[in-house]
Chains A and B, each alone.
Chain A
């Protein structure tokens, strides 16, 4: 490791951090919103239609994000009628966003299914409209327990963002590669990329871990009370 090269490369590589973080946030927001679409399709009462969407989700999930990026950037413009050329950042946002939305949709689904049937019945008994059932009763209970899982997907997505350099999104990865190609020093710029990812992912992982513990506690309150009771019983 040559320190003068390291110091020379550092400002160049770090100038791409805005693009890297921007792409992470944009594609994650897309995934969060589009995830609801998948969840909705899974609740369509006409089973064959729901199955078609399940199959599409499965397809997107089992093909590599890299292939999807290439498809959107290179192949989609050639599709007759609906095809159009998208800039690299938009393509990457769509590609990563769609890929991760299938996971997020699954997370939402598990959250919603985790809400007891009795909660739906109580809100029917109180004469809530369908919309009110969702906004006042079901979603406020379904979403919080999924937050740690959603956070994990954010970190995984963040680590997939360098893929976008393959279609010309100039984030830290692309800048490091360019620097290496020009100066024949790859070690320093790539080390910088690794360090940047580490200092951004690791604290987030710790934060999510904390959140997860907090959520578990919240839903364990009842258990905690029960245990105290049985302990008293044992003493007597």
Chain B
């Protein structure tokens, strides 16, 4: 998921029928006394591209962070590909999910952070290959191959062995995109 300030929503008829991949149902989020999100309802269909726009501090990042399980909604439900993200169904009741469930549902979601959050102790290439190797258990050679292709696609083929501190902001952003996909 990429944060963007561009307004752009693909309106295409075929989206109408498809089951949503992400659904927010009456999601509230408060930080202490302050309610930042006051009942968000949102449906995103597969292959749909959605841009969230709003003034600074209005809660765009918070909406995405909840999808990435970095922030827990105060109330409401988020459904990813038919599964509750923050809850599990047990005997017809919804109970809070444990870490294992979160890991399972979170599996295919990627995120580019506002500050990129690259790993400073790893090279650009290592930043991209570490999750495929250690989380998805892909073999090293193919993960490396794919990461190199991805980085070449975003124009960083000559920076594979560089460290994040040696990159410009835009270059970091492109690494973050390659890492998230």
> Chain A: residues with CB nearer than 8 A to chain B?
116, 118-119, 121-122, 124-130, 132, 136-137, 140-141, 144, 221-222, 225
Contact = CB atoms under 8 A, between A and B. Distances in A.
Contacts of A118: 113, 115, 117
B103 A127 contact: yes
Interface of B: 68-70, 99, 103, 106-107, 109-111, 113, 115, 117-121, 130-131, 134-135, 163, 165-166, 179-180
Across the A-B interface, the 6 shortest Cβ-Cβ residue pairs: A118-B117, A122-B117, A126-B131, A221-B165, A125-B111, A222-B165
Contacts, number: 57
A125 B110 contact: yes
Chain B binding surface SS class:
loop
B113 A127 contact: no
Given A122-B118, A221-B166, A129 B179 contact: no
Contact of A126 (B120, B121, B135, B165): B135
Contacts of A126: 130-131, 135, 179
Contacts of B163: 221
9 contacts: A116-B117, A118-B113, A118-B117, A119-B117, A124-B68, A124-B106, A125-B70, A129-B135, A141-B120
Nearest to A118: B117
Contacts of B118: 122
A92 B165 CA distance: 45
Chain A binding surface SS class:
helix
A132 B165 contact: no
Contacts of A132: 134-135
B169 to A, nearest CB: 11
Given A118-B117, A119-B117, A125 B135 contact: no
Given A122-B113, A132-B134, 15 more contacts: A121-B68, A122-B118, A124-B68, A124-B106, A125-B110, A125-B180, A126-B130, A126-B179, A127-B131, A128-B131, A128-B134, A129-B135, A132-B135, A136-B130, A141-B120
Nearest to B163: A221
Nearest to B68: A125
Nearest to A144: B121
Contacts of A222: 165
A116 B121 CA distance: 13
Most A CB within 10 A of own CB, among B106, B115, B117: B117
A124 B69 contact: yes
B119 A122 contact: yes
A126 B111 CA distance: 8
A136 B122 CA distance: 10
Contacts of A225: 165-166
A131 to B, nearest CB: 10
Contact of A129 (B69, B103, B115, B121): B103
A136 B68 CA distance: 20
A125 B116 CA distance: 12
Contacts of A121: 68, 70, 113, 117
Contacts of B115: 118
A128 B135 contact: yes
